[in-house]
Structure 1
Amino acid sequence: MKLPDDVAALAAETVAALKAARMTVVTAESCTGGLVAGAMTAVPGSSEVVYGGFVTYANEAKISMIGVPFGLLREHGAVSKPVAVAMAEGALGTAGTHLAIAVTGVAGPDGGTAEKPVGLVHFALASEDGTKHLKKQFAGDRDAIRQQSVVQALRMLLKAAAA
């Protein structure tokens, strides 16, 4: 599958930066359904830095695959800062990589609420230095929201690798 040129270029830049920093990464993806890992693995040689990814679309997958506590999901919902952080930290602990990026959001076209509208996406980046969270509100249709989410996740990884 051919990625949009801007996404392909960003993925290549991210993979190169991870290689230069000698860092490995794992993804924990909900609304992006593996697209972040897919963008990176479209880059030749990415196997040096990409450990793999967890597509944890269902809450049960978040719990069983990367250890997100049921209580967090019940109290805050899947699209929340605490769950994004738990996803990143759970993936990092499970995979043993240098970095873990987590993405959880409402891609639409349905499923939005007043508190969590379509386009709301939470990101978390975990490393041994701690976990950073970012909340974004994207516009557009489902494909646009998912693509913007992939770009944001790659930018976070690029920044971490360059630090």
Structure 2
Amino acid sequence: MSNEHSKIENLAKDVVGQAIKQRLTIATTESATGGAISNALTNIPGSSKIFAGGIICYRQEVKEGVMQIPSTLLEEQGAVSLEVTTSLVNNLANLIPSDLGVAITGVAGPDLDDHNNPVGTLFIAIRSHLAVKSYPLLLPSQERTQLKSGFTQKALEIMLAHLEELGRCNA
């Protein structure tokens, strides 16, 4: 098992453990990771207690049709943007009710996207009863599969931090 894979597995165990402990459910909508976050979570025993579901919205047509993102927003801001990622996580709540919603978009390369975002650009949005928080990030450019793993790891780290924050607020 690679070091990268074991980090993702350990983070997923921690996320699932925290969600079980707090009796919270999680839903995801993923673009750049292609379902890797959902996969990492559901690889953990007990995840059926907390994982409500996930949507892979890779193509623009799915973002528009399934996730109800206006085509004007996609054209103006680009599919990989803070605005679109935030809209994805907000709209996810209508499709898959959960306590914690996560949306992710990014540029895995090898080229810039249509709005000239560089390879490694990443946006993560998290929604809970406390707030919606969005994170613009830039990971070092590397091979596509490594970037997808890096995107997945960042998302799990942010999810864990939010679950820990929810635990403190509910204590």
Q: Residue 168 of structure 2 corresponds to which residue in structure 1?
A: none
In 1, Cα distance between the equivalents of 2:161 and 2:132? 14
In 1, Cα distance between the equivalents of 2:114 and 2:29? 23
Give the gaps of 5 or more residues in structure 1: none
- Code of the aligned partner of 1:28: T
* Percent identical: 31
Q: Residue 62 of structure 1 corresponds to which residue in structure 2?
A: 63
The answer to whether the 8 A contact 1:56-1:62 is kept is: yes
Q: Residue 159 of structure 1 corresponds to which residue in structure 2?
A: 161
- Code of the aligned partner of 2:122: V
Q: String of CA shifts for 1:122-157, please: whole Å, max 9, x gaps.
A: 110012222101011112111111111111111111
Shift of 1:115: 4.0
Partner of 1:158, secondary structure, is: helix
Give the gaps of 5 or more residues in structure 2: 166-171
Q: Which structure 2 residues correspond to residues 20-31 of structure 1 after superposition, within 5 A?
A: 20-31=21-32
Partner of 1:44, secondary structure, is: coil
Partner of 1:150, secondary structure, is: helix
Q: Residue 142 of structure 1 corresponds to which residue in structure 2?
A: 144
In 2, Cα distance between the equivalents of 1:112 and 1:66? 20
The answer to whether the 8 A contact 2:69-2:84 is kept is: yes
Q: What is the RMSD of the two structures over their aligned residues, measured on CA atoms?
A: 1.8
- Code of the aligned partner of 1:151: Q
Q: Which structure 2 residues correspond to residues 91-102 of structure 1 after superposition, within 5 A?
A: 91-102=92-103
Aligned residues: 163
The answer to whether the 8 A contact 2:78-2:115 is kept is: no
TM-score with structure 2 setting the length: 0.89
- Code of the aligned partner of 1:123: I
In 1, Cα distance between the equivalents of 2:159 and 2:69? 22
Shift of 1:113: 6.7
- Code of the aligned partner of 1:149: F
Q: String of CA shifts for 1:91-121, please: whole Å, max 9, x gaps.
A: 1221111111111011011244784001101
Partner of 2:147, secondary structure, is: helix
Partner of 2:80, secondary structure, is: coil
- Code of the aligned partner of 2:64: I
TM-score with structure 1 setting the length: 0.93
Shift of 1:67: 1.6
In 2, Cα distance between the equivalents of 1:114 and 1:23? 36
Partner of 2:66, secondary structure, is: helix
Which aligned runs of 4 or more in structure 1 are off by greater than 6 angstroms? none
